Amino acid sequence: MEKRGFWSKIKKNLLKVNKPEKEEQKETTIKEKPSAFGTEEEDTAEQINADLSQSTIEYLYNNSVLLKRYIKIIVDECLRYSLVARPKKGFEDNKTSIERANKLNRLLLQCNAYETFREVREKYLKDLLLYARAGLEIEPSESKEAFPKALYAAPGYCIKMNTDDAGNFEDLDKAYIIVDPDDTSKTIATFPYHSLVYFVYDRISDRVYGESPLKSIYYELQADLKASEGLKKGVSELKTGLVCLKKAPRRVLKDTITKFLSAVRTNARAKLVAVNTEDVKFVDLTNIPTKDLIELQKWVALKANVYNIPPFKLGLGIDTGSLTAREQRDDFRGLIENILFYEIDKLNAILVIARLGWDDIEITCPDLATKLSYERARIAVRLVNGGVITPNEARVKYLGLDPVDDPSANQLKIPAENEEE
Task: Break the chain into its structural domains and give their ranges.
Answer: 1-237+287-364, 241-284, 372-421
Percent of the chain at pLDDT exceeding 70: 64
Q: Are 239 and 38 in contact (CB under 8 A)?
A: no
pLDDT at residue 22, as a whole number: 41
> How many whole angstroms separate alpha carbon 44 and alpha carbon 42?
6
Burial 99-119 (b: 16+ CB within 10 A, else e): ebbeebeebbeebbeebebee
Burial class (CB within 10 angstroms; exposed 0-12, middle 13-18, buried 19+) of 53: middle
Q: Which has more confidence, 16 or 417?
A: 417
Q: Which residues are within 8 A (CB) of 155 and not within 5 positions of it... i.e. 6 or more apart?
A: 7, 14, 17, 54, 127, 131, 134, 135, 181
Q: Are 159 and 176 in contact (CB under 8 A)?
A: yes
Q: Are 247 and 280 in contact (CB under 8 A)?
A: no
Residues 149, 153, 154: CA angle, nearest 5 degrees? 110
Confidence of residue 362 (pLDDT cuts 50, 70, 90): very high
Residue-wise pLDDT tens digits, 205-229: 666 677 788 888 888 888 777 766 6
**Mean pLDDT highest for which of 101-105, 211-215, 273-277, 388-392?**
101-105
pLDDT at residue 85, as a whole number: 95
Q: Please choose, from the candidates 417, 416, 371, 411, the residue with its C-alpha nearest in 3D space to the C-alpha of residue 394.
A: 411
Q: Looking at 164-289, list the stretches that DSSP marks H as alpha helix, in order from N- to C-terminal side.
A: 218-236, 250-265
- Does the pLDDT at position 379 exceed 50? yes
Number of H helices, E strands in the chain: 15, 12
Q: Widest CA span of the chain, in angstroms? A: 105
Q: Estimate to the nearest angstrom the gap between the alpha carbon of 401 and the chain centroid.
A: 37
Residue-wise pLDDT tens digits, 283-309: 554 555 656 666 666 777 777 787 878
- Does the pLDDT at position 125 exceed 80? yes
Q: Which residues are within 8 A (CB) of 409 and not within 5 positions of it... i.e. 6 or more apart?
A: 390, 391, 392, 395, 403
pLDDT at residue 183, as a whole number: 81
> How many whole angstroms separate alpha carbon 364 and alpha carbon 83?
6
Rg (CA), the chain: 30
Task: Say whether 213 sits in a helix, a strand or coil.
Answer: helix
> How many whole angstroms separate alpha carbon 374 and alpha carbon 32?
57
